[in-house]
Structure 1
């Protein structure tokens, strides 16, 4: 289990670095919104890996909260987004 958690942690860290680059270098706001949503999903996945590794279920509400905030944030930005080329 330790090896699986370490591999998952390394993969999530690499994914977070790549997504952070997309957030910083995104050519328009939709790229940044997708990047932030992906970063929220990576954070929730990291908490899920931690919960599985430690057999601690107290972080499950935090995982649900991160997923909800990520979804609602993306939905709100896409609803009230202004065109970039204007």
Structure 2
């Protein structure tokens, strides 16, 4: 199973790199906000894989906090998009 965890972490790392590129190059602020949301999901996924690989259930609190921060970011982005749409 160690190989599976290593491959999973490598794929998550590649996804983080691609998402960071979108964060830097994003033509609009909304693209950057969505990239930050995807990064929070990838961070939760990586932490979950690490917790399972090390058999440490103490990381569950960290998972909940990061997931809640990602949710708040998504709601904020949706409000921003709705406000911009109302103005036009």
TM-score higher than 0.5: yes
TM-score for both structures, normalised by structure 2: 0.88
1:43 shift after superposition: 0.5
Computed over aligned residues only, the root mean square deviation of the Cα atoms, in angstroms, reads: 1.5
| Structure 1 residues 21-79: Cα deviation after superposition (integer angstroms, max 9, x where no partner) | 00000010111111000000001000000011011000011111111101101212331
Paired residue total: 84
Structure 1 stretches lacking a partner, 5+ long: none
**1:77 match:** 77
Choose between structure 1 and 2: higher helix proportion: 2
Q: Which runs of 5+ in 2 are unaligned?
A: none
1:15 is the counterpart of 2:6 = no
Structure 1 consecutive aligned stretches of length 4 or more whose deviation exceeds 6 Å: none
Could you tell me the TM-score, scaled by structure 1's length?
0.90
